[in-house]
Amino acid sequence: MVKVGIPRALLYYQYYPSWKTFFEELGAEVVVSPPTTQAILAEGSARVVAETCLPVKVFLGHVLALVRECDFIFIPAVRSVSNKVYNCSKFLGLPDMTKAVIPESPPILDMDIDISSGKRKLYQGIYQLGRHFTWNPSKIRQAGLAAWQVYLDYRNLMSSQGLTPPEAIERLTGTPETGSIKSSDHRAALKDTIALIGHPYLLYDEYINHRIIYRLEQADKTIVTPEFLSSGELESAIVKLVGRAYWTYEEEVVGAGGYYLQNGANGVIGIMAFGCGPDSLMMDIVRREALRQRTTSFMCLTLEEHTAEAGVITRLEAFTDMINRKMRRQAEECV
Amino acid sequence: MRIGMPHMGNIYIPFKALFQRLDIDFVMPPTNNQHTLSLGVKNAPEGLCIPFKLILGNLIEAADLGADTLLMIGGYGICRLGYYAKTQEQILRDLGYNIEMVQLGVSEHKLFGMLGLIKRLSNDAPWRKIVSAFRFGINKLNTLDSIEQVVQKVRPRELVKGTANQIYAEAISAVDRADSYLTLKKVQSYYIKQLNQVDKDPQAQPLIVGISGEIYVLLEPFSNLDIESELGKLGVEVRRGIFTSEWTKFSLFLNPLGMNEKARIHKAALPYLKRDVGGDGWESVGEKVLHSKEYDGIIHLAPFTCMPEIIAQNIMPNTKENIPVLTILCDEQITKTGMLTRLEAFVDLLERKRRNNNNRQQTGT
């Protein structure tokens, strides 16, 4: 059986269930790289120039982990997932960059995902991708439709039940994910709630964010993330803050940030990677909004490969202390 | 309504001519200087690139001079630059300036959209006047570029270093002052003649170094510490693919019409980079591939944290076409001594390479 490798990094958290379905429908076996470790990050960073951002270094480490494990590696070039939005260069250059810095990698299956250039192009891309596995166009079509259905189910599962991507992936595919991420019934009480905003590849990669969700839950905080919101809620928050989305994954930052600053979270923590182009702008928009509102606390954590765990813990403790104090004062005022 | 706009190299000259001819009230902020930079650095998010910070500084200075309508390019599909106007507007508003940002969309405002925008800014001037003012502005830009191309040739060969730069500075202000096609023509031939008369070393066979990379740091000498003059002083002839006039012509006018000279560069890059990654990353890879035979080396300029150029930087060492590339990252921390040391080392390397090649050819191996 043909083995297709999917690196557990970047877009994995958004699309893994649907990619898995697509390739399995076409009769391929899907191999995923193990969760990020120090070795994966170190090997990835060794291949690229130092200025490259952390998520890409992690991604390349995962590709290296898959090199001997599979016949193909799937790396799509995602330009836009809705009309007239634009994506970070790293997603566009990812297939070619991987090829350049990891010459020993198995053949890369790349395809352009660019909704702005029309659905026809997308269908052609899916068809060409499927041709690596079968000559039967209707089979490719079936696989594509099944993958789309799984994607919708996956999104729905997260927003309706308040599951984080790793939990939802576990439910849908039965692959056990690393365990400490546990969410409680988040909508029951938006009290003592901290919203984490940022891209899934930063929020749910426990190695690079130093288990931030686990640590906040240990401090008795309820965690909410962008995936808990419906796309309508995210969009209206974007419209309010910047008018129209420019970036493909803007809703994870500006959308969720705008929403949680407005609606009842006690604190918002933005997580971004050092040197991230889109986030350096989007986080600033959220930060300015928080400054204007002066009701919800906001903190931005910048991650890079040198981030010391102790530094992250100190900042988290200071932030939760601040929120606890604020809530205590509010309670006293009420009495 | 008073218009202000940011700087990028000499681009203020044609715009100034355009505004003057259309009787638009405008202010030009001072050319980039240390104060501009510190204004930008102070008020910008730290992770942003040097073009953002300098442009923000320009806009603040323009607003201080009374501008209430700020022109800034933007639009879809061009790295994070498309988001800059939005953020800069918020920053200026938060600083207490009551301004309106006008975005010149590089990709969505086609030529006519842009002329329409100028019509709006000029209080409905007649089309004939707008088009002629436009033509005049473009003409100034072309004049400047033809002079600059000669300057690039003279710099490495001149006996008294700095003469060409002096003449070039005079030429820039003469072009800026010129108010008719005739004076412009006279200015052009006068300064090109002046440059040709500079005492030169007849024996000189300067190294040829191409400069590629992100457009703003290529065209704005303040951001790259005037790297071209420094290379000239080291006796290196600089070739640059992107000139302001070409950029304006292609990005703003011909590109929307579908005529694209860049296609050749893109084709060269195809084996290594299959798609546009935004900014000028694709072109950087393409220029390396295209010019590997005719140049001795390439200096790749990029702003720190520029995503498209990081992609290019990762791909370039792995191309078949082998030519030394030195990447210099420009940010607010860059220092002249640091850059000079790197340039000297690079030039030494290229000279040695050329000598070795010559020796090998002479011994016939």
- A93 contact residues in B (CB cutoff 8 A): 273, 275, 277, 281, 308, 311, 315
| Interchain pair A51, B278: CB under 8 A | no
Rg (CA), chain B: 21
Contact A296, A322 (CB under 8 A): no
ipTM passes above 0.90: no
| Interchain pair A277, B307: CB under 8 A | yes
B128 touches chain A (CB under 8 A): no
Rounded Cα distance between B171 and A240, Å, is 49
Domain A178-334 is in which class?
Answer: alpha beta
**Domain pair A3-156 / A178-334, same fold:** yes
| Dihedral sign from CA coordinates of A61, A66, A68, A74 | negative
Report the pLDDT averaged over residues B164-179: 94
pLDDT by residue (tens digit) across A310-328? 989 999 999 999 999 988 8
pLDDT band at A298 (very low <50, low <70, confident <90, very high): very high
Report whether CATH 3.30.1490 matches the domain A3-156.
no
Written as six digits, the tokens of B170 are: 């005079």
Rounded to the nearest angstrom, the gap between the alpha carbon of residue A309 and the centroid of all alpha carbons in its chain is 21
CB pairs under 8 A between A and B: 111
Rounded Cα distance between B273 and A59, Å, is 18
- B82 contact residues in A (CB cutoff 8 A): 86, 246
Rounded Cα distance between A194 and A217, Å, is 10
Contact A247, A272 (CB under 8 A): no
Half-sphere exposure of B6 (CA within 13 A, CB side): 26
Residue of A nearest to B52 (CA): A281
pLDDT band at A70 (very low <50, low <70, confident <90, very high): very high
Report the pLDDT averaged over residues A241-252: 84
CA-CA-CA-CA dihedral for A123, A126, A131, A136, to nearest 10 = -60
Each domain of chain B, given as residue ranges in start order, spans 3-123, 132-154+157-202, 206-365
Q: Is A162 left (phi over 0), alpha (psi -120 to 50) or beta?
A: left
Query: For chain B, how long is the longest CA-to-CA vector?
Result: 72
Fold topology of B206-365 = Rossmann fold (3.40.50)
pLDDT by residue (tens digit) across B88-146? 998 999 999 999 998 877 666 566 777 788 888 888 888 888 888 888 988 898 899 88
| Range with the poorest average pLDDT among A227-236, B58-67, B336-345 | A227-236
Give the β-pairing of B3-4 and A297-303: unpaired
B330 touches chain A (CB under 8 A): no
pLDDT at B57: 96
| Range with the poorest average pLDDT among B76-80, B166-170, B354-358 | B76-80
Report the pLDDT averaged over residues B4-18: 90
Q: If we measure between CA atoms, which residue out of A112, A116, A150, A115 comes closest to residue A128?
A: A112
Contact B50, B219 (CB under 8 A): no
pLDDT at B54: 95
pLDDT at B246 over 70: no
Q: Which of B46, B82, B279 sits opposite A246 (nearest CB)?
A: B82
Each domain of chain A, given as residue ranges in start order, spans 3-156, 178-334
Contact B75, B106 (CB under 8 A): yes
pLDDT band at B256 (very low <50, low <70, confident <90, very high): very low
pLDDT at A247: 84
Which tops the pLDDT comparison, B364 or A122?
A: A122
Strands (E), chain A: 3-6, 29-32, 72-74, 77-80, 108-109, 112-114, 193-197, 222-224, 267-273, 297-303
Report the pLDDT averaged over residues B231-240: 92
Rounded Cα distance between B328 and B342, Å, is 9
